[in-house]
Structure 1
Amino acid sequence: MKIKESFGSKLFDAVNIFLMSILIIVMVYPLVYVFSASISDNAMVMSGRVVLWPKAINLIAYERLLGNPDLWISYWNTIRYTAVQTFLSLAVTSAMAYPLAKKGLPGRPLILFLAAFTLMFGGGMIPTFLVVQKLGLLDTMWAIVLPSLVSTWYLFIMRTFFEGLPEELEDAATIDGCGTMQVFLKIVLPLSLPVLVSIGLFTAVNQWNSFFDALIYLNDRSMYPLQIMLRNIIIAGSNVQGEGNTDYIETLKYAMITIATVPILCVYPFIQKYFVQGTMIGGIKG
């Protein structure tokens, strides 16, 4: 039997569809515009004639960028910084969150208080720089990875998720002879895949888009990540290879934005299912 919808229900659906359509347009339009501008003639872009679709298509900006060895060096640096930090961040955060999820942990309230304290107060940029300098980490990958390795917010989210896992599963594994580490690796982590993927995605995106830490801690140009090159082109207006490339600088900017954005856009569809699950769990239990 078909249920007849009320006028209020139909109006609610119509308003939702309208608002979601506007939101989609607002989010998709910048992506389309940036790509169109990157393959358009530079004069067309500068004159504002590129609104949605490309004008006088040419690929000179991509040819210049893809032929520049600095791009591939910075790409490799960004990939390894992101991969190492995401892996270590998940490993350390989960290793901290799991014992903190146990109410019988000695000193648990104090540890949680000290962790929460860092959400409100931090040492600041200069003390952090001095610590990195004294540890001899300047101009190394670890200067980028270690200072932001653990996020207290993600730690609390993961701890809350671990608290919601059935204790009976861990008890059954312990009775079968599993130790604490085996329970953690073989029972807890596989069940925590949604929250791990969600936090991993946020961590990876933050590191992929980060440039400030590299600007402070790295002086060696061969260690620069992709975002430093992007910053130099977009903000500083520097050319690619020290040449007078002002005749295509606008398309070069948009091409660099496209190249820097595509990898993250390609990864997201493959982990969307886990990402949605993880964010919903965090919203319900947090």
Structure 2
Amino acid sequence: MSTDVLDEALVGAAAAVDVHNRIWILGVGRLVEAYDAPEFSEDDLRQILSVAADSVVFPSGPVRYLPQGYQQQVQPEYRLITYSSPQAPHLQMTLGLGASGFAAVALTRSGVLPTHEHDPCAVLLTDLESILADTFTLSVTTAAYTGYFGPIEMAFAVSGDGPGSTPNVYTVDGESGELICAARFDNPLPPLYHGSELTADSTIESLYTELLDVAAQAAQLIGVDEPQLLTPAAYRADFDAKFVRPVSPDSLVANYLRTSAQHRPEQAPTD
């Protein structure tokens, strides 16, 4: 796995948001062999987000409960769309598609907890898990949109500058149901990496099972026994109704997952 490349992508994602002022959770995905990935237009990005929302619960984090307003920024090598709402200005989610098959997701709650208390260094475990899920979704849907089969590499991190240099991780207490600070860190959290292989036999169910494994690693990284948003119990009980809505026969994702591997883009010459 090209962790150096992913680390550079995380740096690029952090540069697109105000990590020096607010703590952000970042996720980046890379279609490793998308050598000739096209430049995405505004319409491409909106279509990809529409396909994601029609196929799974996306976004999966706190912004999905808010009226969603879009703000688009166009930069030379990536396009960004921001989910925000005047009703909760502290919540912001930014998604971007870059050159060479890169996708990025960033989420902040600006230190405002669901209890309305303020901790500028606060990170919720459920928010972190939502970024895992949304990075998976954006990467796979981008692959669907471009007809890509092959390896996908991902990295997840809490921004290490500003308030993120000493994160406090909050979880829901299993007995009281209250939000508690489960861990305080004196240094930035290390990135979490994951590699996946998208084939003609891949299904949304198999990808979700992978996601459960990554969520378990994230929980272990911060010293928590198990995930709280992405759990096997939720997968078994609510998969069809909650995590994956029925996919129409015309869905790009559904068609993509049924397509022969012969549609994989040609690889660049190795010599």
Instruction: Provide the TM-score with structure 2 as the length reference.
Output: 0.29
Larger Rg: 1
Greater helix content: 1
Bigger relative CO (Cα 8 Å, ≥ 6 apart): 1
Greater strand content: 2
Instruction: Provide the TM-score with structure 1 as the length reference.
Output: 0.28
